[in-house]
Chain A
Amino acid sequence: DVQLVESGGGLIQPGGSLRLSCAASGFNVSDNYMSWVRQAPGKGLEWVSVIYSGGSTYYGDSVKGRFSISRDHSKNMVFLQMNSLRVEDTAVYYCAREFFYESGSRKIPQNWFDPWGQGTLVTVSS
C-alpha cells in the first residue's frame, strides 16, 4: 500500500529552524518526484518545494533561500529543512508524491500529487 507519513512539526520561534520528515512506504522516493505543499490555517494550498528523481530541487518564491529539500534513499524518506522561519510559515505541511511529464512539442509540464501524507503542523510564534 502506498503511504506517506510526515513528522517533525511543532512550535518554533521566529528565526528558528525545523526539519520535517516524510516516510514513504510502497514505493521508492528516489524513483519519484517528491513535493512539499503547505496550507496556512483556514487558507488554501501552496506548493513549497520538489525534489526530482534525478536530484534537482526547486522552491516556491516565498521559501527560496530559507528551505532545503533532500532525501535519504536508504531510509526511503524525504526531508524539508526550514531555516529563518517566519510567522507566515505557520501551516500544515504535506508531503506528496508528484507525477510529472512533459507533453506536446512545447514540452509543457503536466503534474499532479498522489498520494498525500496526513500533514504535520508547524507553528511559528513567539
Chain B
Amino acid sequence: QSVLTQPPSASGTPGQRVTISCSGGSSHVGITHVYWYQQLPGAAPKLLIYANNQRPSGVPDRFSGSKSGTSASLAISGLRSEDEADYYCAAWDDTLSRRVFGGGTKLTVL
C-alpha cells in the first residue's frame, strides 16, 4: 500500500489532454513539494517535474504539474504515442521521515 495514492491507469487519444492525480495527507503532500517521474517501457525512471510545477531542461512544456492542499496533479497536453509510460509521484513523508512514492499510473495512448 503506497503512502501516496495514484489511479492505477489512465488513457487518452493523441492530441488529448490527460491528468494524473496524486493524493496524500498533511504529513507529505500537504507540506512538501511533489515530484513526478516518467518511466518509459523497459527504461529507468526519469525526472519529469520537480518542486510541484518546475520542468527540468529538456522536458517539453506539454507536461505540467500543480498542487493544491494535499493533492497534486500531472497534466499532459497534446498527448503523443511516446507519452505511453508509467508515471510516479513522490514526496517526503515527515511522519515517517522517509522518501515515499505513489503506486504509479500506467498511461495508455489509444
Q: List chain A positions with a Cβ less than 8 A from chain B.
A: 35, 37, 44-47, 50, 58, 60, 94, 99, 103, 106, 108-119
Which residue from B44, B92, B100, B102 sits with its C-beta under 8 Å from A118? B44
- Secondary structure of the A contact surface, majority rule: strand
Which residue from A35, A108, A115 sits with its C-beta under 8 Å from B32? A108
A68 CB, min distance to chain B CBs, angstroms: 17
Q: List chain B positions with a Cβ less than 8 A from chain A.
A: 2, 31-33, 35, 37, 43-47, 50-51, 56, 88, 90, 92, 94, 98-104
| A-B CB contact pairs (8 Å), 5 listed | A44-B2, A44-B104, A46-B101, A111-B99, A114-B46
Which residue from A45, A60, A110, A116 sits with its C-beta under 8 Å from B98? A60
Set of chain B residues within 8 Å of A108, measured between Cβ atoms = 31-32, 92, 94
Q: Which residue of B lies closest to A113 (CB)?
A: B47
B23 CB, min distance to chain A CBs, angstroms: 15
Does the CB pair A45–B104 fall under 8 Å?
Answer: yes
Does the CB pair B47–A114 fall under 8 Å?
Answer: yes
B72 CB, min distance to chain A CBs, angstroms: 13
Counting chain A CB atoms within 10 Å of each CB, the highest count among B31, B37, B46 belongs to B37
Set of chain B residues within 8 Å of A106, measured between Cβ atoms = 31
A52 CB, min distance to chain B CBs, angstroms: 13
Set of chain B residues within 8 Å of A35, measured between Cβ atoms = 99
B22 CB, min distance to chain A CBs, angstroms: 12
Set of chain B residues within 8 Å of A47, measured between Cβ atoms = 98-101
A75 CB, min distance to chain B CBs, angstroms: 22
Q: Which residue of A lies closest to B86 (CB)?
A: A44
Set of chain A residues within 8 Å of B101, measured between Cβ atoms = 44-47
Does the CB pair B44–A110 fall under 8 Å?
Answer: no
Counting chain A CB atoms within 10 Å of each CB, the highest count among B32, B37, B45, B100 belongs to B45
